[in-house]
Amino acid sequence: MTKRAITTEDFMKLEVFSDPQFSPDGASYAYVSTRVNDKKEYESNLFVQSLNSEKAKQWTFGPHNTSYPRFSPTGKYVVFQSNRSGTSQLWLLPLDGGEARQITTFKNGAGNPEWSKDGKYIIFSAQLEEGDDVTNQKELTKEEKQKQKEENSKKPLHVKNLRYKSDAQGFLDDKKSHIVLYDVEKETFTQLTSGDFHYGYQDISPDGKTILFAGNLNEDNEYELKSDIYALNLDTKEITKITDGEGSYYTATYSPSGKKIAYLGHKHEYLNATLTKIYLYDVETKEHTCLSEGWDIQVGDMIAGDTRLGTSESGPVWSKEEDRLFFIGSNLGATNLYEVNLSGEIKERYNVDSHVFGFTYDPNNNSFVVGVSTPTVPCNFFLLNEANNVKQLTDANRDFIDEVEIGTPEAISFKAEDGWDVHGWLLRPYGFEEGKKYPFVLEIHGGPHVMYGQTFFHEMQLLAAKGYVVLYTNPRGGHGYGQEFVNACRGDYGGGDYRDLMAAVDYAVETYDFIDKERLGVTGGSYGGFMTNWIVGQTNRFKAAVTQRSISNWLSFYGVSDIGYFFNKWQHGYDLLDDPKALWDISPLKYADKVETPLLILHSEQDYRCPIEQGEQLFVTLKHLKKEVEFVRFPGANHELSRSGKPELRVDRLNHICDWFDKYL
């Protein structure tokens, strides 16, 4: 029987897994499952599955966002965070039976809970204002929140800081992220950090005497894009800076003995195009060692997609013997599970041309539960034992997979004009027939320092289902192909990266005779939106274009984006005051009079990363020039609309993209 084609609404039928966590005895694991409910809202709940069972057991229920399950070392409790009370708070679930009880009632919520190694304490993060008392926190009622919202809407926003807004959080206030300790037996709270700084909890030493946190405690921190690892002595309250103050360092974790600390980061050698490195710190000798010296892979998961919800562990994680570290790395369009010994020798533990989006390690058996997505399967968990044998644990979205036609992308590789190898994938249209000509869409990723890869991507599958050949590639500037490659677009936006994309189209048209070269379309978001705007101002070979959350004017981007004040300097080598003409020369808006391609502009009203004025400028200019252009503004959405925006708005967005290409291609 022929399977049906994928539709715009189908992403709402998917179950998305994240954050696997082994139980202390290694016999089972918990995880988070997120889906869109009947009210077309996201809900996430906790599940647990025995390694000897084919079916998981649901732990939490209801239309809430529940996440971050963490087993106590004794196996007696699971702590998790949930907004079931109206604000994200911490809840404690006894594993010998009984209901979960709420343990925090903080006014601004609580999250990211972790246990001390002896299981006596839970350490978590809370947004606190100056003078807040953690021993007397009261969560606001629904009515109090509404009243506060109404009062705030009548007040002017008094801005004093350079960083006063964030795409993720909106307009920022004076609250700071602090670290709080909860005594499970005494049911008391102790604030561990203080002052006008943000503190990011990292780990607690095995002896319970020291915590690690990441942050910037310099007085000029709002002007510095740096982060260090610090140690806080819980007895003396003395803070010691561990890293050198010259870069960005994070994800620090103690070895099982507490003698060493592993952490990630870099010294900004290539600014935000620098590959992340793995470092070791010897607690006794104070010596730092870079384990990844000489590597040319990116530590961490850099794959772009639209069906990943929730966070997951990517490492580094210590082995039981303290002789190895495990982590996820991005390489050649895939993410793999790696291990590295303390001499820096690296080897792959799991590599099947897929997207490893998270893992959990069981020191009892030296085994892993690995979360994996592939281009044809949205997500599943697998057990990877010490001998590298693999056992599938889940069969998520089976009904969906059996019902719809999911295309398998064909990997392509070609030479750019200067000899660089460029990698990508091509999807054939639904119901493909030999001898027939099909319209074509080029997809361009954002970042630019991310990568397309071996993961399930609903938007790509949808366009193929609508009858398009879909090409998505990793032009220079993307991760996964080494330090020189990821740095190659800096100072050259619209140069080599543009030529790579045009070479990709040339290769596809010349190689696949079923592509109708008279019906080519292009789309992309963020950096991909910039590049879409750039392309239509440089060439008329595309008959339709859709630009999303884009950049059209680097001059104004400097002052309106939440990252503009440093992004221009880091990516182009100059900012507004250094060389306004140079910024204007690489601004797509400058070339608006040359645009002949019908252009659809999609933008979110609350996008603070690429603010909507970028779309407005482009629309007004093109419309004033009587070009073929339309503008769609999405209310209440930010830069993340395509990935985690309101489901109904995501459907609208996809429908607009498909309708535009249907109209012109």
Report the Cα–Cα distance between both ends of the chain, in Å, rounded. Answer: 30
Beta strands 260-266 and 277-282, pairing class: antiparallel
Q: What is the pLDDT of residues 510-555, one digit of tens each?
A: 999 999 999 999 999 999 999 999 999 999 999 999 999 999 999 9
**Chain CA centroid to CA 167, Å:** 13
| pLDDT of 1 | 67
Task: Quote the CA–CA distance of 112 and 110 in Å, as a whole number.
Answer: 7
pTM of the model as a whole = 0.96
> What is the C-alpha separation between 539 and 45, in angstroms, rounded?
48
Q: Which domains does the chain have, with CATH numbers?
A: 409-552+587-664 (3.40.50.1820)
- Nearest to residue 160, comparing CAs of 172, 168, 148? 172
Torsion angle (degrees, nearest 10) of CA 126, 68, 322, 373: -130
Phi (first) and psi of residue 478, to 5 degrees: -85, 155
**Distance set, CA 596 to CA 64, 146, 512, 601 (Å):** 47, 48, 26, 15
Active site residue 639: yes
- Given a cut of 70, the residues of the chain with pLDDT beneath it are 1
With residue 33 as reference, give the H or E element that holds it: strand 28-36
Query: Which position among 64, 355, 639, 656 bears the catalytic label?
Result: 639
**Neighbouring residues of 404: CB distance < 8 A, sequence distance ≥ 6:** 3, 4, 5, 6, 10
Query: Which of the residues 28, 205, 526, 604 is marked catalytic?
Result: 526
- Measured between alpha carbons, how far is 104 from 187 in angstroms, rounded to an integer? 10
Structure confidence at residue 90 (pLDDT):
98
E strands, 129-222, in order: 165-166, 170-171, 176-183, 188-191, 200-204, 210-215
Distances (CA, A) of 535 to 79, 86, 214, 255, 523: 50, 46, 40, 50, 10
Cβ–Cβ < 8 Å for 566, 583: no
Residue-level pLDDT at 565: 92
Between CA 83 and CA 71 the distance in angstroms is 19
For residues 540 and 588, what is the distance between their CA atoms, to the nearest angstrom? 14
- The pLDDT value given to residue 149: 84
- Using the structure block, give the residue that is written with the tokens 């003409």: 581
